[in-house]
A and B are shown apart, each in its own frame.
Chain A
Amino acid sequence: MPNDTRIGGDKGAFPTTRWSLILASRSEQAEERHRALEVLIAAYWKPVYKYIRMRWNKENEEAKDLTQEFFARLLEKGFLDSFDPERAKLRTFLRVCVDRMVGNEEKAAHRLKRGGEMQVLSLDFASAEGELRQIDVAAPGDMDEFFAREWARNVFSAAIEQLRADCEAKGKQIHFRLLELYDIEEGGKDLTYEEVAKQFGLKPSDVTNYLAYARRELRRIVLEQLRQMTASEDEFRREARSLLGVELP
């Protein structure tokens, strides 16, 4: 699978412990802190770039600089210290931070001044720009909603890649292919289970079972990501409810 950024690491890079991402981002150990932030950046850099382009109406190059600037600050120790999960979602906190940074002209001047010292991240802005051209952003009235949707798109894109890899590793390519057919490709929903079963040489009940497996795994991966991207049980449940419409036990 081609990664469009080197940061974020491999597909299985999400830490397995609950809330470890936020805790690790505040760690005294630079390596642990850096790794956690890399995962955070992988999940958020595209939404942040697109948000700056659309909300602040910035040109491509300026939006790239501002995105780099934002995540360079994120990598600095203490950036997330002011985040209080009791008061806001991490997603909202990051968006407000972006607004504050971009909206502050003095900070923009400072950005130019510090330029050379800034750590430059390897981010595939061309892919983000290409995606922007495919999104209907004629009038994204509510930019909070726009940011949330781009974040959801990133979460699901990453989950799909992980699911593809998992299915390949387990020899369940047909399971993944059925999910692609029904839930990603246009027009897949119009096919009956009988038609698909014939096409893949399966029984119709296999189609039900294989699809159920792929969807269950997709949900598991997405929830796993949400666990990492949220800072409290309450935030996790709220995000799961808004992203998937599910109530967790």
Chain B
Amino acid sequence: MTFLSDSALDRLRAAADAPDLSGTRYQLIDKLGQGGMGGVYRVEDTVLHRKVALKIVSAFDSGSELADRLLHEARVIAQLEHPGIVPVHDVGTLPDGRVFYAMKLVQGQRLDHHVAGLETLAERLRVFGKICEAVSFAHARGVLHRDLKPQNIMVGPFGEVLVMDWGISKVLGKAEANSSGELAVVGTNHGTVLGTPGFMAPEQARGENVDHRADVFSLGALLHFMNSGTSKAIAAISSKAIAESPGDRYASVHDLSKDVANFLDGLPVSAYPESWMTRLGRWADKNKAWLLLVLAYLIMRTLFILWRAE
């Protein structure tokens, strides 16, 4: 009997799970990763001569729950045309019965890896701002992500930020907004807990209905992760976003991102009342170059006046 080395065994295990792309326009290159729903593969689109990514569900049944979830994800993303959300090109079923969708091949790093290489807090917060823009855009179209975490966010080589993995997103019914402004969830499996501990809002972990403030919570946890305890103001913003009760959190992603932007601009931050001296110091720090120029001008002017007076 053929002896299989460890590496050959690993290759064969992967090969037996490899998607059947026969008769399709795609040619398999390699596997990029494996998630709970299925695998992501790098393939060549032989018609357009470009590389794309195929997300393929691991169930060999186009009617399975996983397949439904993948289709749901593809349809949700297709509705969200935004630079911060990866575009879907195609969707279908492979000859082996597995459902797939094709999307842009994102070249870049996961947020957790990318953040490690950023030196300043300002750089990190600018990335956070872009994540908020994409999520806020989705909320405006009635879509909750519900699984925001560093592993689901990619940062490209030119600093572009892409929010990925919309597999457990929820589409909210805009027409069903109640008097309190909360949106009722349409077509959910109420009671099913999906998400990632640590980044998941408590009400989501309890399997309750959630609204956009569940994503505010996850973004607060992301902000905490990106802050690494270096700024008290950012820690306060993050704490407000991850408040136990949704009512104590920021009312929207926009409000959260506005507070972060205010911090970057040296303006008052709602979650962290600062003394005017502290704020002045932060403003001075941000406008250091301009201040030095004014100061230099004033000194020169004073010296000139004194010289003229003599």
Contacts and interface: CB of A to CB of B under 8 A. Distances in A.
Partners in one complex: yes
Interface of A: 1-4, 127, 130-131, 134-136, 149, 152-153, 156-158, 160-161, 179, 182-186, 189, 193, 204-205, 208-209, 212-213, 215-216, 218-219, 222, 243-249
B4 A215 contact: no
A208 B17 contact: no
Contacts of A160: 2, 4, 12
A212 B15 contact: no
A219 B20 CA distance: 11
Contacts of A213: 22
Contact of B15 (A149, A209, A218): A218
A186 B7 contact: yes
A161 B46 CA distance: 33
A215 B16 contact: yes
B289 interface: no
Contact of A246 (B3, B11, B58): B58
The 9 closest A-B pairs by CB, nearest first: A249-B61, A247-B59, A212-B22, A183-B15, A209-B22, A219-B16, A212-B20, A183-B11, A247-B58
A213 B5 CA distance: 23
B22 A153 contact: no
Contact of B60 (A2, A127, A136, A249): A249
Nearest to B62: A249
A161 B7 contact: no
B28 interface: yes
B8 A216 contact: no
Interface string B14-34: 111110111100011010001
A208 B28 contact: yes
A199 B301 CA distance: 82
A42 to B, nearest CB: 10
B64 interface: yes
Contacts of B15: 179, 182-183, 215, 218
B17 A244 contact: yes
B1 interface: yes
Interface of B: 1-9, 11-18, 20-23, 27-28, 30, 34, 39, 46, 57-61, 63-64, 66, 95-97
A3 B1 contact: yes
A149 B5 CA distance: 11
Contacts of A215: 15-16, 18, 20
A248 B59 contact: yes
Contacts of A249: 59-61, 63-64, 97
Contacts of A247: 57-61, 64, 66
A131 B6 CA distance: 11
B58 A152 contact: no
Given A157-B4, A212-B95, A249-B60, A184 B12 contact: yes
B3 A156 contact: no
A1 B2 CA distance: 9
Contacts of B23: 209
Given A204-B27, A208-B22, A216-B96, A161 B16 contact: no
14 contacts: A1-B1, A2-B1, A153-B4, A156-B4, A156-B13, A157-B2, A185-B8, A186-B7, A209-B22, A209-B23, A212-B20, A215-B20, A216-B96, A246-B17
Q: Which of A1, A135, A205 has the most CB of B within 10 A?
A: A205
Contacts of A161: 1-2
B17 A134 contact: no
Nearest to B19: A212
A247 B68 CA distance: 14
Contact of A183 (B12, B22, B64, B66): B12
B11 A184 contact: yes
Contacts of B66: 247
Nearest to A152: B9
Contacts of B27: 193, 204, 208
Given A152-B9, A215-B16, A157 B1 contact: yes
A131 B5 CA distance: 9
A248 to B, nearest CB: 6
Nearest to B96: A216
Contacts of A157: 1-4
B302 to A, nearest CB: 72
Contact of B16 (A131, A134, A182, A218): A218
A36 B97 CA distance: 33
A154 to B, nearest CB: 8
Nearest to A193: B27
A219 B17 contact: yes
B39 A245 contact: yes
A199 B6 CA distance: 27
A115 B17 CA distance: 45
Nearest to A219: B16
Given A152-B13, A249-B64, A134 B59 contact: no
A189 B27 CA distance: 13
A245 B34 contact: yes
Contacts of B58: 245-247
A55 B40 CA distance: 37
